Chain A
Amino acid sequence: MADAPILEVRNLVTAFDTDAGQVIAVDGVSFQCHRGRTLGIVGESGCGKSVTALSIMRLLPQPMGRILGGEILFDGRDLAQATPEQMYQVRGGKIGMIFQEPMTALNPVHTIGRQLAEVFLLHKTRDRAEALRLAIEMLKHVGIPSPEVRVGEYPHQLSGGMRQRVVIAMALACRPQLVIADEPTTALDVTIQAQILDLMQQLQAELGMSIMLITHDLGVIAEMCDDVVVMYGGRIAESGPVEAIFENPSHPYTRGLLDSIPRLGGQRKSRLRIIDGMVPALKDMPPGCRFQNRCPFAVDRCRKDQPAIEQVAPGHAVACHRWREVVAGAAVSATS
Chain B
Amino acid sequence: MTPPDSTPPLLQIRGLKMHFPIRQGMLFKRPKLCRAVDGVDLTVHHGETVGLVGESGCGKSTLGKCVVRLLEPTEGAIHFEGFNLAPMGCRQLKPHRRHIQMIFQDPVESLNARHSVGQILEEPFVIHRQGDREERKKKALALLDKVGLPAASYDRFPFEFSGGQRQRIGIARALALNPKLIICDEPVSALDVSIQSQVLNLLLDLQRDLGLTYVFIAHNLAVVKHISDRIAVMYLGRIVELAGADELYRNARHPYTRALISAIPEPNPRRERERIVLTGDVPSPINPPSGCPFHTRCPHVQDRCRVEVPQLRPAGPGHEVACHFDL
In the complex, per-residue mask of B259-284: 1 if CB is within 8 Å of any chain A CB, else 0 = 11111111111110001011101100
Please tell me if B7 contacts chain A, counting CB pairs below 8 Å: no
Cβ–Cβ contact A217 & B197, under 8 A: no
Contacts of B192 in A (CB 8 A): 44-45, 216, 279
Output the least CB separation between A218 and chain B (Å): 4
* Residues B223 and A222 in contact, CB atoms below 8 Å apart: no
B246 at the interface (CB under 8 A from A): yes
What are 16 A-B pairs with beta-carbon distances under 8 A? A161-B281, A190-B263, A193-B263, A218-B193, A222-B265, A222-B271, A257-B194, A260-B196, A262-B197, A262-B223, A262-B227, A263-B267, A268-B245, A272-B200, A275-B194, A279-B192
Beta-carbon contacts under 8 Å, B165-217 to A: 165, 192-198, 200-201, 204
How many Å lie between the Cα of A256 and that of B227 in the bound state? Answer: 20
The CA of A328 and the CA of B263, in the complex, are separated in Å by 34
User: How many angstroms from the CA of A221 to the CA of B225 in the assembled complex?
Assistant: 21
Chain B residues whose C-beta falls within 8 Å of the C-beta of A263 in the assembled complex: 222, 226, 266-267
Given known contacts A44-B192, A45-B192, A274-B198, A262 and B271 CB-to-CB distance under 8 angstroms: no
Whether a CB of chain B sits under 8 angstroms from the CB of A89 is no
- The answer to the question of A162 belonging to the interface, with a C-beta cut-off of 8 Å to chain B, is yes
B35 lies within 8 A of chain A by Cβ? no
Determine the chain B residues whose CB is within 8 A of the CB of A161 once the complex forms. 281
0/1 interface trace, chain A 246-268, chain B, CB 8 Å (1 if under): 10000000001110111111101
**In contact, B260 and A190 (Cβ under 8 angstroms):** yes
For B245, the chain A residues whose CB sits under 8 A away are 268
Instruction: Tell me, yes or no, whether B102 is within 8 Å of chain A by CB.
Output: no
B268 touches A222 (CB 8 A): yes
CB of B88 to closest CB in A, whole Å: 34
B248 to chain A, nearest CB (A): 10
Contacts of A269 in B (CB 8 A): 204, 226-227
Chain A residues numbered 174-213 whose CB sits less than 8 Å from any CB in chain B: 189-195, 197-198
CB neighbours (8 Å) of A270 from chain B are 226
> In the complex, which residues of chain B have a beta carbon less than 8 angstroms from the beta carbon of A192?
55, 281
For residue B17, CB closer than 8 A to chain A, the reply is no
**Chain B contact residue count (CB 8 A cutoff):** 47
CB distance from A231 to the nearest CB of B (A): 13
Contact of B59 with A by CB under 8 A: no
Segment 256-312 of B: residues with Cβ below 8 Å from A: 259-271, 275, 277-279, 281-282
Question: Does A229 touch B at the CB level, under 8 Å?
Answer: no
Residues of A within 8 Å of B56, CB to CB, are 189
* A256 contact set on B, CB distance < 8 A: 194
Q: A246, B201: Cβ atoms under 8 Å?
A: no
A284, CB-defined interface residue at 8 Å: no
CB-CB < 8 A to B164: which residues of A?
278
Contact A261 B281 (CB under 8 A): no
Distance of A229 from chain B, by nearest CB (Å): 15
Contact call A190/B267, Cβ cutoff below 8 A: no
Q: Is B154 interfacial (CB 8 A cutoff)?
A: no
A45-B192, A189-B282, A266-B226 known; 17 other A-B pairs, CB under 8 Å?
A162-B281, A190-B55, A190-B220, A191-B260, A191-B277, A197-B265, A216-B193, A222-B267, A223-B266, A256-B194, A257-B193, A257-B194, A258-B267, A268-B226, A268-B228, A272-B200, A275-B194
Chain A residues lying within 8 Å of B204, measured Cβ to Cβ, are: 269, 271
With the chains together, A258 CA to B195 CA distance in Å? 13
Of B197, B228, B271, which is within 8 A of A272 by CB?
Answer: B197
Which of B197, B219, B246, B265 has the most C-beta atoms of chain A within 10 angstroms of its own C-beta?
B265
Instruction: Answer yes or no: B2 CB below 8 A from chain A CBs.
Output: no
